[in-house]
Structure 1
């Protein structure tokens, strides 16, 4: 019996020696993160959120568990932002527009026709200005990890193709509850009606609303093709998603855990942007098959819109802060090679 006991002690000691590092990891606290977002699970944001949970599991050796709640299960974007700031929800991924109601500098991303392509957007978001804006979040109870992609926004409606600016005239067009969008579409001649996203489908179904504007993956995931016949590729604004962590939760994490979350955000970003761009191209074709008439908008018409929107851009530049807008324009000009 004695021998067996010694043998077990030796085995146990050997096991401890082998798993010393693991034993330390075992002592690390389990972190449970509820990650909420407002979009359908099959959307690139939904898919990438699940991927992010897998990435965090791998990076933390199973210590950081992320449970994803898609499609406003934890509330609207505005409600989730409030929950994150209050420390009752650990993470959310939301469009920049609702964040701009708390941090006005984020109105930058609502300025119409700021970016011409994804390359310009990536350079600004992943560069100095993107970080300058993220640095404003902790003062409001949030930590911004990085930016994912919502994408270029397009106009859909149930009345007629929108090929030129005049075609927007009089359309009852739903916009986000965001002053830049309201003023931009008013300037373009539409009857801009702010409304929560959750009410939009039924408003279009009952014809209370004629039109709306969103990126292609949202238009498809939300089945807007059932109630909208025309899709116009206006590219009138580029919208990022913000990956936000509750500062109350963040401050409880070790520096290592914080670094893992940042790395996870970057890995998730590469996956999500690639998927979003690939799916956007594919989904335009899907929307055609679903019966939508898809029309591009010419460069000449875009230039006309840009001219009409100048007063709106100038007005909001004062709100955002001229130095922020100038830095954005400078960084975009560098990408354009001017």
Structure 2
């Protein structure tokens, strides 16, 4: 009798143990293979950090790139997009990329000027009369030189994305003549050239991350700012700034940059597929940026919340006259050959250039 009790206890303990550790009770077969879950641990993750809204040219391009990579390499690569500065602000994303904490960013050209002075060329006022001039610069020797400077910081520039030309806004008064800027404070990207630009116009300039602009404007910490239409629209700046001048005085573009160690360590076939996806995204972005800026300018006009002034050729020449000394100030930092190329492009495409 005692032996039966002993056997019963052993059976009961075995059953409980099987349940607790999850073994099937009636089969010795192994658990089914889950290909999707098994592949996750081997999947290459690309963390793509940026600071603008999802519905901007850069935000939409980042999402499209992630989608194309998912379609072509879903079992091997995942692109995780972090918009609106949720992972790193524009102040910290360069260092994070260089360290390898993230693998991909797309900072504005201005955000590169502190570490790489030659990029100041793109902040020069009225340097590029139209998109064709910008495209020729980026796709030619100028773009090649600028991207080449990134390699010393464990970075590699792999593409350029467009946003568009910048306009100026103010809560105080219309900005038509240079003297209209006097006594006002404007938010700018971290660039000495942009700071010199507003000082030349008699205004103060405050450098701050893009994620802080809306609240700074609402609080009255700054009177105005400069930005593309898509950024003015997506951040609702047109709702808190009364005046806007369509000036096209500067260009806002992005350099798509990866961590060089990470990029060069990728298998060659994966890197090739990523380059194809990026090239397709870049072409798509070029068309989208212009469409968005045109469409959203119409939306701002329809809202009736801003007084909008289109700068005339005569008024632009007034601004140029005030801003001309900046070219001489910047020449030492970016070099005479680069400045000469910029000036040559300006004269090539600007029929109204003085």
Pick the TM interval, shorter chain. Answer: 0.7 to 0.9
Structure 2: how far apart are the matches of 1:126 and 1:333? Answer: 18
Structure 2: how far apart are the matches of 1:113 and 1:70? Answer: 30
Q: Report deviation, 1:308.
A: 1.4
What is the aligned partner in structure 1 of residue 328 from structure 2?
A: 314
- The TM-score with structure 2 as length reference comes to 0.83
SS at 1:237's partner residue?
strand
Correspondence for 2:317 among 303, 314, 318: 303
Structure 2: how far apart are the matches of 1:144 and 1:250? Answer: 11
What is the aligned partner in structure 2 of residue 293 from structure 1?
A: 307
CA 62–301 in structure 1, closer or farther in 2 if over 3 Å, else same: farther
What is the aligned partner in structure 2 of residue 78 from structure 1?
A: 91
Structure 2: how far apart are the matches of 1:228 and 1:316? Answer: 31
Which structure would you say has the larger Rg? 2
Q: Is the 8 A contact 2:178 2:322 kept in 1?
A: no
Q: Report deviation, 1:228.
A: 0.5
SS at 2:298's partner residue?
helix
Q: Is the 8 A contact 1:95 1:150 kept in 2?
A: no
Q: Deviations over 1:154-188 (max 9, x none)?
A: 10111122122222222221122211111111101
SS at 1:32's partner residue?
strand
SS at 1:173's partner residue?
strand
Q: Which runs of 5+ in 1 are unaligned?
A: 1-25
Q: Is the 8 A contact 1:164 1:297 kept in 2?
A: no
Correspondence for 1:206 among 219, 228, 232: 219
Structure 2: how far apart are the matches of 1:259 and 1:128? Answer: 24
Correspondence for 2:254 among 222, 241, 246: 241
Q: Is the 8 A contact 2:129 2:349 kept in 1?
A: no
User: Are residues 1:188 and 2:207 paired?
Assistant: no
Structure 2: how far apart are the matches of 1:199 and 1:281? Answer: 25
Structure 2: how far apart are the matches of 1:255 and 1:324? Answer: 34
Supply the RMSD in Å over aligned alpha carbons.
2.0
Q: Report deviation, 1:129.
A: 1.6
Q: Is the 8 A contact 1:124 1:332 kept in 2?
A: no
Structure 2: how far apart are the matches of 1:331 and 1:201? Answer: 35
CA 64–93 in structure 1, closer or farther in 2 if over 3 Å, else same: same
Q: Deviations over 1:185-240 (max 9, x none)?
A: 11012222223323222221122211111111001111112211111111111121
Q: Report deviation, 1:62.
A: 4.5
Structure 2: how far apart are the matches of 1:336 and 1:59? Answer: 42
Q: Which runs of 5+ in 2 are unaligned?
A: 1-38
User: Which segment is superposed worse, 247-256 or 278-287?
Assistant: 247-256
What is the aligned partner in structure 2 of residue 265 from structure 1?
A: 278
CA 257–195 in structure 1, closer or farther in 2 if over 3 Å, else same: same
What is the aligned partner in structure 1 of residue 245 from structure 2?
A: 232
User: Which segment is superposed worse, 130-139 or 61-70?
Assistant: 61-70
Structure 2: how far apart are the matches of 1:304 and 1:260? Answer: 49
What is the aligned partner in structure 2 of residue 7 from structure 1?
A: none
Q: Report deviation, 1:332.
A: 4.9
Q: Is the 8 A contact 1:153 1:216 kept in 2?
A: yes
CA 287–273 in structure 1, closer or farther in 2 if over 3 Å, else same: same
Correspondence for 2:153 among 132, 136, 140: 140
What is the aligned partner in structure 2 of residue 127 from structure 1?
A: 140
Q: Deviations over 1:316-336 (max 9, x none)?
A: 121112212222333555556
Q: Is the 8 A contact 2:168 2:246 kept in 1?
A: yes
Structure 1: how far apart are the matches of 2:158 and 2:235? Answer: 27
Q: Is the 8 A contact 2:165 2:251 kept in 1?
A: yes
- The TM-score with structure 1 as length reference comes to 0.87
Q: Is the 8 A contact 2:129 2:350 kept in 1?
A: no
Q: Is the 8 A contact 1:175 1:192 kept in 2?
A: yes
Q: Is the 8 A contact 1:52 1:265 kept in 2?
A: yes
Q: Is the 8 A contact 2:44 2:76 kept in 1?
A: yes
